Amino acid sequence: MRFQSVAAAVLLAVPLANAQLNSLAKKAGKLYFGTATDNGELNNTKYVSILTDTKEFGQLTPSNGQKWMYVEPEQGVFNFTPGSVVADLARKNKQILRCHTLVWHSQLAPWVENGNWTKETLTKAMVNHIEKVAGHWKGRCYAWDVLNEALNEDGTYRDTVFLKVIGPEYIRIAFKTAARVDPGAKLYYNDYNLEGISSKLLFLSLKFPVFWCYHVMENWMLTANR
C-alpha cells in the first residue's frame, strides 16, 4: 500500500489553515501528531511550509524512500539517497523520524521476488538488508515499521516469498535483527483494517509481542503517538 500525506494535503486546501495538530496532541499528553510524505511532494513550497511547521506535525515518515526496491535495488547494492530526503528534512526541522519499512511483500526489488532461494540464503539476504538499512539510520529513527502487512484479513499469514521460503519464523528473525541493530528504536508491526474486532486483530493481540500500528482508509494514520 502506498501512503498519501492526507493530513498535510487537507491543511493545504484550506486557506490560512492553522490547526496546530501537534501542539494539541502534545497538550493532550501525546508525544506527537505526525504524517507521512514522499519526495515528489516536497517541490510544493506551500505544502512544505505546512509539513515542516512543528505546531502542525511533530513527526515525519518517508512514504516510500526506505522501502526495499529503492534502498537495495540489486542484491548487496544499497542506495540510501531516496530514504534520506525525508529523514534529513525531519532532522533539519527537529521533527521525530519514524522509519518505514524493513520487510514487506510489496515494493520488493525483483531480485528478491524472483530469486532461486533456499531458506538459508533468503534468511541471510533478509538479515543483511535489515542490518544495512536499520544500521544506516541507527539512532535517528524513533521507531521502525519492521514488518508490513504480513497477514490476510482472516488472520492467516499472507502468502509471500518470505513465508514460502523461510516460514513464519521470518517474522521473529526480522524483529530480533532490528532490535539487535538499533536497540534504541521502537519496533512496530504495521497493517490496516485494525480499527475493529477482527481475526487479524485477534491474531496480533495473541501472537505478536510487539507494538503495532495501522492505516485507516489507505492513509498513514499513526498519529498522536505516546
Instruction: Tell whether 173 is covered by a domain.
Output: yes
Query: What is the structure's pLDDT at 217?
Result: 36
Instruction: Tell whether 226 is covered by a domain.
Output: no
Query: What is the structure's pLDDT at 225?
Result: 41
Average pLDDT of the segment spanning 99-123: 97
Grid coordinates of 220: 498513514
Query: What is the structure's pLDDT at 9?
Result: 55
pLDDT in tens, 136-175: 999 999 999 999 999 999 999 999 999 999 999 999 999 9
- pLDDT over 70, % of the chain: 84
Instruction: Tell whether 25 is covered by a domain.
Output: yes
Instruction: Tell whether 166 is covered by a domain.
Output: yes
Query: What is the structure's pLDDT at 45?
Result: 96
- pLDDT band per the 50, 70, 90 thresholds, residue 214: low
- Tally of structural domains, the chain: 1
How far apart, in whole angstroms, are the C-alpha atoms of residue 168 and residue 174? Answer: 11
Judge whether residue 17 has pLDDT over 70. Answer: no
Instruction: Tell whether 1 is covered by a domain.
Output: no
- pLDDT over 90, % of the chain: 75
Write the CATH number for 171. Answer: 3.20.20.80
Average pLDDT of the segment spanning 109-118: 97
Q: Which of 141, 140, 149, 112 is CA-nearest to residue 128? A: 112
Backbone angles phi, psi at 7, to 5 degrees: -60, -45
How many CB atoms neighbour CB 203 within 10 A?
16
Domain extent for 214: 6-220
What's the whole-model pTM score?
A: 0.86
Instruction: Assign 3-state DSSP to the chain and report helix, strand, coil percentages, each to 5.
Output: 40, 20, 40
How far apart, in whole angstroms, are the C-alpha atoms of residue 118 and residue 175? Answer: 20
- pLDDT band per the 50, 70, 90 thresholds, residue 193: confident
pLDDT in tens, 52-77: 999 999 999 999 999 999 999 999 99
